[in-house]
Structure 1
Amino acid sequence: MRFSRTTFALALLVFATVSASAFAESLQASTNKSYRIETLADNLPYPWSLDFLPNGNFIVAMRSGELHIIGESGKTSRKITGLPTTYFAGQGGFFDVLLDRNFKRNQKLYLSYAAGNKKANRTTVASARLSGDTLLDVKKIFEVTPSKNTSAHYGGRLLQLADNSLLLTTGDGFQFREAAQDRFSQLGKVVRFNHDGSLPSDNPFASGENGDPAIWTLGHRNPQGLAIDSLTGNVYLHEHGPKGGDEVNLLLRGHNYGWPAVTHGINYSGALISPFTSAPGMQDPKHVWVPSIAPSGLAIYRGNAFPKWQGNFFVGALVDKEVRMLSPNEESSWTEQALFSELNQRIRDVREGPDGFIYLLTDSEVGALMRVLPVAAK
């Protein structure tokens, strides 16, 4: 057994070296500056996500436990009151803010956040109604079970599907990675629920006999990117690997994405997690990063402001302090290009706006909301 583990470790080292080499060859630096970047708002305390209000303003969730409305020009910023209490520690706090598809009619939004305390906390989703600068009718509609005693790996991304149900990514809590393969635990999963917190009858384990009725997919580590392609309707997710092995996945109902049974990464200590990068019954990723870029935020661009970028994926890279633009290819490896590295900022969220421009949030105690426009745009 000792010889076998050594052999596996050597094989994994060779794989990581080859993967890193192939990755370096596929990564292209941005040389043609067809864009310009303007800062709309700064001094934001750890901004995590944003959405676009119908009047042109922005709503931004701060991990620190604040929700701001920022004017279209960025000149005004107002704090929203009536917020739920969050557990702001480690990686915990406010995560995603998502306007309901019918927001113009119902003023409804959803907020994911860490709730609880050091001994017992969990990713939670609340719904509320936005009235001016205040949240009304705040109601918890989903709480991940079981709770955990760590302040890491919450997931926290939200997405509304065409049938108005919601997807939420959940992390494995860092110390509970085996739970990602436990069909009766909601850790390390994507869960699906209705706007009122009830569970859809067509979830993969809806009966509860073979798994938790809320589970949509399983085998995830810490997914912090979730987006739907408005052209194809396909849903994609990206997640943090350990040391290496960040992934982009096509999200399919009931599928198992492998963590920690299969992974392209290793422990931070250098120890082996699994000798397998693929296995029967587990979904292979569309793209892998070795070494890690620490992906956060995902936009699949279908706007008109940057015609050459249509169909590409935009991923914030926290470690590399840039955005990676991925060009998907079903027949060969995806290629990628580094963008916006001149900012030298950790990119927490990436969004395509209703105007076709690209919006960024930088991750720091004095973070910023930025807009990417074509050079010629006014």
Structure 2
Amino acid sequence: MRWAAPPRPQAYPSRAAGLGRNSHFGDAGDPDSAVRRVATPEPPAGYDPLAMVPVRHARSAPRHGLTRPLGRWLARRLTSAFAGLALATLLLPGAGPATVRAANPVIRSQIVQAGLQVPWDVDFTPDGRMLVSERSGTLRIYANGEPGAALLATNRVSYVRSVGEAGLMGIAVDRSFAVNHRIYVCASRDDYGRWLNQVLRYRIDAWNRLIFEKAVIRLGAAAAPNHDGCAVEMFSDGMVWVTIGDAGVAARAQDPRSLNGKVLRVTPDGGVPANNPIMPGTTTPSLVFSMGHRNPQGIATQPGTGAVYAVEHGPERDDEVNRIYPGANYGWPCYTGTGIRNSSYTGRCGPSTAYRNPAWASGAVTWATSGGTFAAGANWGSFSGQLFVSCLKESDVRRFQLAGTTLAYRQTLFDGTWGRLRAMTRGPRNALYVTTGNGTGDRVIRITAG
């Protein structure tokens, strides 16, 4: 690891950090310094491969046919060597458990772009350009995801009605972008007197202008000042996945004919994939892939497995992360969390066993979970394959680890450092990118590990 040459900036901790906890660090007097938090490792479940086990077992180790005196001599030499290695390691700048235990990476954050107005989502083209949507209807294209990268173009998505949470929200780059130059956006738009959440397909031309191609989803998803969802991604199956909230009318989530309160799966041209499920009460596949959702604002797929997870806001309790299964009903508004009956809803409901439980729920509190993505790559160490979720109310990032069919909350990062956090995306070199949702002076933040 390389360290900056002296003089080094003075660092200050915001508070002490115990095992598995965190501290803020930065240049003294500079609230926007690049390195904002160092994560201390969690207590290991068992022996760590770098925890000097040979020292502990030196006397009882097999001597492989060596004479007893020679074996003891080698044991003493090995013990001394390992102890010296440990001391040398601990004397390095920034050393300590986080440095010795390489499996747990050091997590850093850095401002990439600033001065934005409620940026909602971020995505990247194969050549590295960074696309950022703003709720007002602006889509910005930057040269790359590096700090201070040049703004190449500012585009407007037409007829966006930005009220409350509604506006221009999710964006997704086509997996064949290098050939077709297409992107998809999800936006709340005026359409001949109707206010609808729509998925639109655009092409980015050689001058970084948006060229409208078609509406992939035009009708069927009502918009509202809140509960719009509107996360959009294209996964390895080549389909466009979209989350749509109930738009403030909870019963829509249990109506299979409505697109509200659903996770949708659609072809890039707007068609129904032949292998989409047949939902209860219908006779043929539709755009609906799962139902019973309140306000899912994030969707991600796990590297290696292709499993899809949606991040969802709860009603003052029971925020959820749901693994999305074809045809599944996740219970809203009848139930929240793990079979908790929603007493405020008086509509028709089945038994709790008729609905699928979430992979994780927040219980009696709400974190306002919004975006989510999976870390991937060797630089993330033991965190590779784990889910990182951005939170609005708690103004932090939460790390989750898969535990069978459920998710276990493991760690809080950047607690209050950047304010309210909205969307999360995995970008170039496996960095995570998150947008802030503070209303003014918003930013795109890059999170790296190593």
Q: Please give the TM-score of this superposition, normalised by the length of structure 2.
A: 0.71
Give per-residue Cα distances to partners, 1:111-157, cap 9 Å, x unaligned: 11001289731210100110122111332120241535x32111101
Match of 2:392 in 1: 318
The answer on whether the counterparts of 1:262 and 1:277 sit within 8 Å (CA) in structure 2 is no
Indicate how the Cα distance of structure 1 residues 143 and 111 shifts in structure 2: closer, same or farther if over 3 A, else same: same
Q: Distance in 1 between matches of 2:239 and 2:139?
A: 23
Aligned to 2:65: none
RMSD between aligned residues: 2.9
Higher CA-based Rg: 2
Q: Which residue of 1 aligns with 2:45?
A: none
Partner amino acid, structure 2, of 1:360: V
Tell me what 2:198 maps to: 124
Match of 1:66 among 138, 147, 152: 138
Specify the alignment match of 2:214 in structure 1.
Answer: 139
- For 1:74-153, list aligned pairs within 5 A: 74-75=147-148, 76-81=150-155, 83-116=157-190, 120-131=194-205, 132-145=207-220, 147=222, 150-153=224-227
Instruction: Say which SS state the counterpart of residue 275 (structure 2) adopts.
Output: coil
**CA–CA separation in structure 1 for the residues paired with 2:448 and 2:260:** 38
> Per the alignment, in what secondary structure is the counterpart of residue 368 of structure 1?
strand
Unaligned runs of 5+ in 1: 1-26
Find the counterpart in structure 1 of residue 67 from structure 2: none
Alignment of 1:334 onto 2:326: no
Could you tell me which amino acid in structure 1 is paired with residue 242 of structure 2? L
2:160 alignment partner, SS class: coil
1:45 aligns with 2:117: yes
Question: Larger relative contact order (C-alpha < 8 A, sep ≥ 6)?
Answer: 1
Residue 180 (structure 1) aligned to one of 236, 248, 253: 253
Aligned ranges 1:225-244 → 2 under 5 Å: 225-244=298-317
Q: In the alignment, is the contact (CA less than 8 A) between 1:247 and 1:286 conserved in 2?
A: yes
CA spacing shift, 1:68–1:333, aligned 2, 3 Å: closer
Aligned in 2, Cα 1:194/1:118: closer, same or farther, shift over 3 Å? closer
**1:162 CA drift (Å):** 2.6
Kept in 1: contact 2:272–2:285 (CA 8 A): no
Equivalent pair of 1:186/1:212 in contact (CA under 8 Å): no
Q: Which residue type is aligned with residue 314 of structure 1?
A: F
Report the CA distance between 1:173 and its aligned residue: 0.9
Tell whether the 8 Å contact from 1:323 to 1:339 is kept in structure 2 after alignment: yes
Confirm or deny: 8 A CA contact 2:221 2:244 kept in the other structure. Answer: no
Distance in 1 of aligned mates of 2:309 and 2:271: 24
After superposition, the Cα gap between the structure-2 partners of 1:332 and 1:156, relative to the gap in structure 1 and judged at 3 Å, is closer
* Structure 1 pair 188–212 and aligned structure 2 pair: CA distance change class (3 A): farther
Q: Is the 8 A contact 1:207 1:213 kept in 2?
A: no
Q: How does 1:143-292 map to 2 (within 5 A)?
A: 143-145=218-220, 147=222, 150-174=224-248, 176-205=249-278, 209-210=282-283, 213-264=286-337, 272-273=344-345, 279-290=352-363, 291-292=365-366
Deviation at 1:308, TM superposition (A): 2.5
Give the counterpart letter for 1:369 in structure 2.
V
Cα 1:338–1:146 change in 2 (3 A) is closer
**1:278, CA displacement in angstroms?**
7.4
Deviations 1:194-240 (A, max 9, x none): 10111112222389944772211000000011000111110111111
Aligned-partner residue type, residue 434 of structure 2: L
State the shift of 1:272 in Å.
Answer: 4.0
Matches of 2:404 and 2:210, distance apart in 1: 44
Q: For structure 2, list consecutive stretches of 5 or more residues without a partner in the other structure.
A: 1-18, 24-37, 40-105
**How has the CA–CA distance of structure 1 residues 82 and 93 changed in structure 2, closer, same or farther, with 3 Å as cutoff?**
closer
1:35 is matched with 107
Q: Distance in 2 between matches of 1:194 and 1:211?
A: 16
Per the TM alignment, residue 37 of structure 1 is displaced from its structure 2 partner at its CA by 1.7
Aligned equivalents of 1:82, 1:332: Cα separation in 2: 40
Deviations 1:72-129 (A, max 9, x none): 3332224433633211111111111111001011111101100128973121010011
Contact in 1 for aligned 2:244/2:262 (Cα 8 Å)? yes
**Distance in 2 (alpha carbons) for counterparts of 1:314 and 1:138:** 33
After TM superposition, give the deviation of residue 64 of structure 1 in Å: 1.4
Cα distance, 1:304 vs structure 2: 2.3
Residues 261 and 293 of structure 1, relative CA distance in 2, 3 Å threshold? same
- Is 1:369 matched with 2:441? no
**Post-superposition offset of 1:54:** 2.4
